[in-house]
């Protein structure tokens, strides 16, 4: 089990909590309702690749296994206690790296309400303090302006471009890579967000 997992975190109406089996109906409904909204940014399997089935049961079983192994933290993003998205910490690495990657999505109905930046800030603070990681990474497609605004608000630093990094929406796509180090935010990521974002 990863250090700091499971965890429930909140700031006002916005919070995160572990993804659990009873979320199946809500998760499936949100994914179906937001299929067009999310399609351009969704990972897909390249020809010949083998992956887990695209169902809630298979997804949560895989995420829970990775959480038990200490490699992931699958969070639900909530608004007033109701699931409206997901924040997944993956590729948790200890040893000399002490790092992790963060991915996220939010329902179109709650876009623009501060859910994603606040939820990611809550998780990032948790990773830097309780989980004692040193670095977090967020990778996004260059044309994903909504995700770009999230990393800008949180003050992540762009560290490069990864050509043809992930298979997204049916093809290999370039990704911009951003990082945040624990020493970059001694005040905390949520405090930085409340203060108006990056100081750089």
Residue 4 lies in a domain: no
Residue 182 lies in a domain: yes
* Number of compact structural domains in the chain: 1
Q: Which domain holds residue 51?
A: 9-194
Residue 160 lies in a domain: yes
How does strand 82-93 pair with strand 99-106? antiparallel
Indicate whether 95 pLDDT > 60: yes
Residue 41 lies in a domain: yes
- Tokens representing residue 76 in the block: 């639900």
Residue 3 lies in a domain: no
What does the pLDDT average to over 2-29?
94
Residue 137 lies in a domain: yes
Confidence of residue 199 (pLDDT cuts 50, 70, 90): very low
Name the range with the highest mean pLDDT among 12-21, 38-47, 49-58: 12-21
From 164, 199, 160, select the one nearest 179 (Cα to Cα).
Answer: 160
Letter string b/e over residues 13-50, b meaning 16 or more CB atoms within 10 A of that residue's CB: ebbbbbbeeebeeebeebbeebeeebeebeebeeeeee
Does the model's pTM come out above 0.75?
A: yes
Residue 200 lies in a domain: no
CATH of the domain at 18: 3.40.630.30
* pLDDT value for 55: 74
Q: Using CA atoms, how far apart are residues 150 and 53, in angstroms rounded to an integer? A: 29
Residue 199 lies in a domain: no
Indicate whether 1 pLDDT > 80: no
* pLDDT value for 52: 61
């Amino acid at each position: 089990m990863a250090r700091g997992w499971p965890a429930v975190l909140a700031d006002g109406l916005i919070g995160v909590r572990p993804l659990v089996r009873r979320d199946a109906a809500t998760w499936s409904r949100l994914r179906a309702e937001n299929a067009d909204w999310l399609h351009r940014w969704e990972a897909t399997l390249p020809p010949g690749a083998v992956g887990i089935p695209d169902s809630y049961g298979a997804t949560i079983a895989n995420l829970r296994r990775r959480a038990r192994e200490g490699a992931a933290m699958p969070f639900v993003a909530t608004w007033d206690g109701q699931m409206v998205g997901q924040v997944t910490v993956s590729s948790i690495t200890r040893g000399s790296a002490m790092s992790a990657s963060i991915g996220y999505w939010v329902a179109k109905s709650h876009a623009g309400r501060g859910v994603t930046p606040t939820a990611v800030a809550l998780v990032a603070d948790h990773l830097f303090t309780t989980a004692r990681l040193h670095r977090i990474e967020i990778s996004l497609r260059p044309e994903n302006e909504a995700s770009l605004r999230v990393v800008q608000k949180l003050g992540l630093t762009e560290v490069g471009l990864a050509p043809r990094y992930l298979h997204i929406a049916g093809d290999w796509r370039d990704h911009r890579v951003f990082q945040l180090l624990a020493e970059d935010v001694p005040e905390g990521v949520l405090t930085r967000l409340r203060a108006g974002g990056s100081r750089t």
